[in-house]
C-alpha cells in the first residue's frame, strides 16, 4: 500500500504504521461509534489502542471470551477496564443493560490525523463520563514517532491522556499484555519481556501546571486474554493512576528496546512535553 496511515470513517478507527516490513511498528486507535445493530457486540473501548512492533504484539485487546455462559465474565470482557484506555472512578464509559444491550453509550469524536516525516498523530475524545457529577471528559492523542538514535530500529508510541473536569476524579490508565509477555518494575519504568527476548519499556508521567513531568508508579495485576471464543489465558495488566481535582494530563511512552538497553526516558518525556505544547 502507498499509505502508512489511514482513518476509516465508517468505523471511526485509525491505523498508524512506520512501514510495511515484518518488524514495522503498528498502532490501532479506536475512535469509532460504540457499535452497530443496537450495539449487541459493542465493548466500552473508546480511545483504546493496540500496539505491535518488532514482530511482537505488545499491547492487545483481551477479546470477548463468552456471550451468555458467564454473565460476570461477559461484562468484564466488554468493560472499559478490559481495554487499553482510561477508567474514571472505577466505572465503564458505557452502562450495560443485559448481555447484548446497553442503557448508556458514549459518543466518540475523532479530532484529527496529522503526519510528518518523523511523527504521526491521531487524536480523539469521548463523553462517556459526562454522565457523572461533576462531568468528566477524556481526550487522547496518540503519537507514533521515529527514535532519533541511529541504532533504533523502530518507532515508539507516546500517549497524551487529558482528563477534563471541575471536580475530583480518580483516573486509571490500563495496558493489557499478551500471555507470552512478562513485566518487571525497575523503579522508574516497567520493562516488558517477550518470550523471544525482545523488550518494551513503558513509563508514565503526570504533566504538572508548570510544565514539568512527575513520574507515576506503574502497578501490575493479573487479568485475562481470550484469543478465541470460549478460551482464556491469564495475562498481565499494567496500571497507573491518580486522584486529583480539576483538569489533569497523563503522558505515557511505550518504547521497543533491546535487552539491557539504557533508554533516556527523560529525553523522551521532554520531547513529548514539547509535542504537547505545540498541539494544544
**Average pLDDT estimate for 256-266:** 75
Is the preceding omega at residue 31 within 30 degrees of 0, hence cis?
A: no
pLDDT tens, position by position, 181-191:
999 987 779 99
**Alpha carbon distance 223, 183 (integer Å):** 13
* pLDDT tens-digit series, residues 105-133: 999 999 999 988 788 999 999 999 999 99
Global pTM?
0.92
Q: CB neighbours (10 Å) of residue 165? A: 21
Distance CA 129, CA 87 (A): 9
User: Which of 13-17, 147-151, 188-192, 238-242 has the least mean pLDDT?
Assistant: 147-151
**What confidence category does residue 279 fall into, taking pLDDT thresholds of 50, 70 and 90?**
very low
**What would the pLDDT profile of 4-29 be if each residue is shown by its tens digit?**
899 999 888 999 999 898 889 999 99
Which among 232, 233, 236, 237 has a CA at the least distance from the CA of 69? 232
Average pLDDT, rounded, for the chain: 89
More confident residue, 190 or 32: 190
**Separation of CA 13 from chain center:** 13
Distance between CA atoms of residues 275 and 160, nearest Å: 10
Return the minimum-mean-pLDDT range out of 123-127, 190-194, 208-212.
208-212
With bands split at pLDDT 50, 70 and 90, how would you rate the model's confidence at 280? very low
Q: What is the pLDDT of residue 3?
A: 84
pLDDT tens-digit readout, 96-109: 888 888 889 999 99
Assess whether pLDDT exceeds 80 at residue 49.
yes
Least Cα distance to 201 among 218, 214, 213 occurs for 218
CATH 3.40.50.720 fits 5-279, yes or no: no
Residue that the C-alpha cell 521532554 belongs to: 270
Residue with cell 465474565: 73
Q: How confident is the model at residue 50 (pLDDT cuts 50, 70, 90)?
A: very high
**Domain limits, the chain:** 5-279
Lowest mean per-residue pLDDT among 76-90, 145-159, 196-210:
145-159
pLDDT at position 37, please?
61
Amino acid at each position: 500500500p502507498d499509505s502508512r496511515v489511514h482513518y476509516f470513517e465508517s468505523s471511526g478507527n485509525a491505523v498508524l504504521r512506520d512501514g510495511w516490513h515484518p518488524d514495522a511498528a503498528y498502532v490501532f486507535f479506536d475512535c469509532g461509534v460504540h457499535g452497530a445493530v443496537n450495539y449487541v457486540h459493542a465493548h466500552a473501548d473508546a480511545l483504546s489502542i493496540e500496539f505491535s512492533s518488532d514482530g511482537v504484539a505488545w499491547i492487545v485487546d483481551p477479546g470477548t471470551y463468552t456471550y451468555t455462559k458467564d454473565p460476570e465474565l461477559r461484562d468484564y470482557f466488554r468493560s472499559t477496564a478490559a481495554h487499553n484506555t482510561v477508567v474514571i472512578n472505577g466505572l465503564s464509559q458505557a452502562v450495560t443493560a443485559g448481555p447484548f444491550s446497553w442503557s448508556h453509550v458514549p459518543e466518540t469524536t475523532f479530532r484529527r490525523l496529522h503526519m510528518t516525516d518523523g511523527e504521526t498523530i491521531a487524536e480523539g475524545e469521548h463523553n462517556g463520563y459526562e454522565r457523572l457529577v461533576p462531568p468528566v471528559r477524556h481526550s487522547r492523542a496518540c503519537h507514533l514517532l521515529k527514535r532519533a538514535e541511529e541504532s533504533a530500529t523502530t518507532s515508539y508510541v507516546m500517549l497524551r491522556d487529558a482528563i477534563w473536569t471541575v471536580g475530583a476524579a480518580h483516573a486509571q490508565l490500563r495496558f493489557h499484555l499478551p500471555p507470552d509477555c512478562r513485566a518487571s518494575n525497575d523503579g522508574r519504568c516497567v520493562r516488558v519481556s517477550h518470550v523471544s527476548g525482545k523488550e518494551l519499556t513503558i513509563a508514565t508521567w503526570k504533566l504538572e501546571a508548570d510544565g514539568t513531568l512527575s513520574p507515576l508508579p506503574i502497578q501490575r495485576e493479573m487479568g485475562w486474554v481470550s484469543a478465541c471464543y470460549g478460551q482464556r489465558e491469564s495475562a498481565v495488566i499494567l496500571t497507573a493512576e491518580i486522584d486529583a481535582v480539576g483538569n489533569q494530563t497523563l503522558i505515557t511512552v511505550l518504547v521497543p528496546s533491546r535487552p539491557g538497553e539504557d533508554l533516556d526516558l527523560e529525553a523522551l518525556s521532554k520531547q513529548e512535553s514539547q509535542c504537547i505544547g505545540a498541539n494544544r
